[in-house]
Amino acid sequence: MIRVRFTGGRQIFEEICEHCKEKIIDLHISDVTFAKERSDGITFKIRDKDNRLQTLDDPKTKIMRTSASFISKGLLDVEEAVTASRSRGFKYGARPEAMCSQSIDTVTGITASYCYKTTNNNFLLKYSGSFHTGSEVDTNSSGSKVGVDRRGNVIRMKAIKNIDILTGIPESDANIKYKGPLDTAWFRKASSSDQARYIKGAQACAAYVKRYGKSVEDMTIVARYSDAKSFITDVQLNKGCKI
């Protein structure tokens, strides 16, 4: 959403995350302004944030110019873009819904926009019963919980590389953050099928979960072991448990 505030005689536009309600970026007036559609050929110009003089688009043209970018970020569906074009606006005029984070999962190749501030009070008012529920395990074979997208779906990732929301440029590979068990080198080197088997076996072992608790739910437990063999052995010491 867009928040407008006034300070020192200046009008400031801010893009706000749909879930946590915290500021994401400052917007320039050119980001949120349309020109009225005209049939007389008259155009209006406006200076953008880089002080470049730009022709001000009418609503339909602006939507066409920006829809592809929003769709690629997961902030808009094709059907919504078509509807916006017909109605001459996104949910917030020149902008659709916004999320406070955009990341690439370097393991799965998936890019997602989501709210990651999962302890924020506004987030909790909306999603404490779904994101933080005990039935929504912290880590499973598809990845670790990192946030909620604009539709309320839990986003899971295995390895995160953040994308600068203002520039659209991803972080360097040196800044990749591995989530849950992927932070442990021997687990990361295992095949995806073995990784899924390790997670399933450990989390299905009630005695093992009781013994180690949260670290089995998020599977950071694997950091206790030097290799897969010692991990499997420890889990299977519990009668009836099998990896």
Q: Say whether 80 sits in a helix, a strand or coil.
A: helix
97 neighbors 18 (Cβ within 8 angstroms): yes
Q: Which residues of the chain are under the pLDDT cut of 70?
A: 38
Identify which of 190, 195, 193 has the alpha carbon closest to the alpha carbon of residue 219: 195
Question: Which element (helix H / strand E) includes 234?
Answer: helix 228-236
The pTM of this model reads 0.82
Q: Please classify residue 185 by burial: count the beta carbons closer than 10 Å to its beta carbon, then call 0-12 exposed, 13-18 middle and 19+ buried.
A: exposed
75-99 pLDDT per residue, tens: 888 888 888 777 777 888 888 899 9
Q: What pLDDT was estimated at residue 205?
A: 97
Cβ atoms of residues 158 and 182 within 8 Å: yes
pLDDT digits (tens, 9 = 90+) for 129-169: 999 987 889 999 999 999 999 999 999 999 999 999 888 89
Residues 6 or more apart whose Cβ sits within 8 Å of residue 208: 202, 216, 234, 235, 238, 241
